[in-house]
Structure 1
Amino acid sequence: MDQRLEVFLKVVEKKNFSKAAEELHMTQPAVSQYIRSLEETTGVKLLERTNKYVRLNKAGEIVYHHTLEIKELYAKMNHLLDDLTNKASGSIAIGASYTFGEYLLPRIIAEAKEQFPDIKPTVTIANTATIAELVLSHQLDVGIVEGHFKDVMELKTEPFAKDRMVVVAQSDHPLTHHNKPIEMKELAEETWILRELGSGTREATENVFEQFSMFPQSIMHFSSTQPIKAMVEAGMGISLLSEWAIQKELHYGDIKILNVKELPYTRDFSIVTRSPFQTKALSAFLDLLRSHKELIDFKIQ
């Protein structure tokens, strides 16, 4: 990669020419010369500089964003070239939405490390929309998500397993004692505790509401599953969650699955990638992921 871009990234990271020079084992005038050359080539000033700070201006933000993509692509190119002769090794940037990332991905990564000790995975967990954006911008090599996101031509989506979702309530909630199946419309007056917009779990819940023309009067929002489960345990409301996310709570009897006539609701877990070229490390990880389909699907049987 162009050394001027490497110097530029380091200056932005350190927000200081002297600190950047020290880490790059250069003199400060040399760093300044690299930045000046880059600005002359682009034809615009990229950094605002004073005695107190160094920060990006608008043009600098554009160059910084694309330089990060260039850095990722350059690293990926080198991995692909190395893979022509070497075994699966190197870094993989993996992203996952919360349900898969928190409850299924750890055991798969542990197995990947056992089978391919030279693979170095890093993991980002966020909602489905964010993971798709990070794959699109080359900041992640692969994403594993539930639900849908805005269709983008550059992204390849591969459904590979199913997830089953159920309505849960506090163990002694009156609805847990119903002998007959509950109809969804009976739950409209309950307080629903939901994930934020952009999450696959929120999308699934809204699909269920729409399917049964149900419009709850009381809704609470949280940005992850853990506080939702805590609120349900405390008797503050009900929620639609993946069975994978509630295994511990079911085991200890903290919450129960409501016997809802129209459920469970099933959705896809999908693999999201961008580049048609894959390193051996990424290909090995994806093969391992696909091999777990039956394990992930077991609750659907």
Structure 2
Amino acid sequence: MAKANLEYYKIFYYVAKEGSISLAAKRVCISQPAVSQAIKQLESVLNCQLFIRVPKGMRLTKEGEVLYQCVREGYELILKGEERLDRMLNLESGEIRIGASDMTLQYYLLPYLEEFHIQYPKIKVTVTNGPTPETLALLKDGQIDFGIVSEPFSLSEDYSVIRVKEIIDIFVAGKRFDYLRNQTMDYEELAGLPVICLENDTSTRRYVDEYLSSHGVVLSPEFELATSDMIVQFAKRSLGIGLVVEDFATELIKQGELFEVKLKTDIPSRHFCVVENQRFAHSTASRKLLALLKESQYNKI
């Protein structure tokens, strides 16, 4: 059996659904003779009669009913697909998958998610929380659309990296260490104090360890904790000198609960970055949120 033009099936669907050549012609935006000709062509290809003319229009034959059951299911599935695609393109549906740490989420991403959700409330946003190495692993496998990570990290040319916010690592202390408040310390003196750090599998810990090591100093932390929020709480209780990104301690410093331990040479600043794996395409929703984030960029790597 020869294959029929798919357009014939579309016309067949509307003639069968409407029971009328004239109504079908309006639905497909062609002339009535063109509709009649398409049905004749389809009947010729299929070698059977599909419709019987009746006083009120067109009625399916038994063969036509069998064909219509299948064509209707297929064509309406196509229509449903077009409708869902249209909703995605108009940001009325869709999903965005993001990888971010507590730090990048709290001190960079969250306000943008709030703004995006107000504009596009029907878009589902999934945030997978984890340190930079974990986020980059998810990005490599295409399990997230993009990641918000903190330097340092290394990637191949397959990735796009955009710096979006400068961050500063500082040491903070509570009241038991008040004798350090007016001092300016060098790195060697710092190594002799009880230090509170993040665990080893974080970009923050790796960055500071590598930097201090380049100056001949190795920290031996008194406490290694999972989150920076816990570090500031430990430091507030004077359990040690906490190493955190400045944003985590700002409010407690303002309240006088903590103070920054001054160093003779500040640890160089680093950045939050938006990272994309260019091997994978983005959805319309993902591209829209990325455009919002990139408006804040000030230096492309």
Partner of residue 210, structure 1: 213
Cα deviations across residues 26-62 of structure 1 (Å, max 9, x unaligned)? xxxxxxxxxxxxxxxxxxxxxxxxxxxxxxxxxxxxx
Residue 232 of structure 2 corresponds to residue 194 of structure 1:
no
Q: CA RMSD in A?
A: 2.6
Residue 85 of structure 2 corresponds to residue 82 of structure 1:
yes
Residue 254 of structure 2 corresponds to residue 248 of structure 1:
no
Residue 152 of structure 2 corresponds to residue 148 of structure 1:
yes
CA change 1:281–1:83 in 2 (3 A) is farther
Partner of residue 127, structure 1: 131
Residue 161 of structure 2 corresponds to residue 183 of structure 1:
no
Residue 286 of structure 2 corresponds to residue 282 of structure 1:
yes
Partner of residue 262, structure 1: 265
Alignment of 1:216-227 (within 5 A): 216-227=219-230
CA change 1:276–1:175 in 2 (3 A) is farther
Cα pair 1:189 1:218 within 8 Å, conserved: no
Give the 3-state SS of the residue equivalent to 2:164 in structure 1: strand
Give the 3-state SS of the residue equivalent to 1:122 in structure 2: strand
Cα pair 2:231 2:244 within 8 Å, conserved: no
Partner of residue 99, structure 2: 95
Post-superposition offset of 1:122: 1.2
TM-score, normalised relative to structure 1? 0.64
When the two structures are aligned, how many residues end up with a matched partner? 215
Partner of residue 49, structure 1: none
Q: Decide which moves more: 81-90 or 187-196.
A: 81-90
Post-superposition offset of 1:189: 0.4
Post-superposition offset of 1:239: 2.5
The amino acid that maps onto 2:234 is M
Post-superposition offset of 1:227: 1.6
Partner of residue 167, structure 1: 171
Residue 111 of structure 2 corresponds to residue 115 of structure 1:
no
Cα pair 1:163 1:266 within 8 Å, conserved: yes
Give the 3-state SS of the residue equivalent to 1:239 in structure 2: strand
Cα deviations across residues 114-172 of structure 1 (Å, max 9, x unaligned)? 12223221111111000111111222111100023453554433333321221111145
Post-superposition offset of 1:234: 1.3
Cα pair 1:166 1:242 within 8 Å, conserved: yes
Post-superposition offset of 1:265: 2.8
Post-superposition offset of 1:84: 10
CA change 1:158–1:186 in 2 (3 A) is same
Unaligned runs of 5+ in 1: 1-77, 295-301
Partner of residue 106, structure 1: 110
CA change 1:245–1:217 in 2 (3 A) is closer
Cα deviations across residues 78-126 of structure 1 (Å, max 9, x unaligned)? 99x9379822341101111231123332222101111222322111111
Partner of residue 231, structure 1: 234
CA change 1:83–1:152 in 2 (3 A) is farther
CA change 1:175–1:183 in 2 (3 A) is farther
Give the 3-state SS of the residue equivalent to 2:126 in structure 1: strand
Give the 3-state SS of the residue equivalent to 2:114 in structure 1: helix
Give the 3-state SS of the residue equivalent to 2:152 in structure 1: coil
TM-score, normalised relative to structure 2? 0.64
Post-superposition offset of 1:264: 4.5
Cα pair 1:83 1:280 within 8 Å, conserved: no
Cα deviations across residues 168-194 of structure 1 (Å, max 9, x unaligned)? 11145135422x522222111011211
Q: Decide which moves more: 81-90 or 183-192.
A: 81-90
Post-superposition offset of 1:278: 1.8
Give the 3-state SS of the residue equivalent to 2:121 in structure 1: coil
| Cα distance in 2, alignment partners of residues 173 and 208 from structure 1 | 24
Cα deviations across residues 195-240 of structure 1 (Å, max 9, x unaligned)? 1122121122213322321123444211111221111111111122
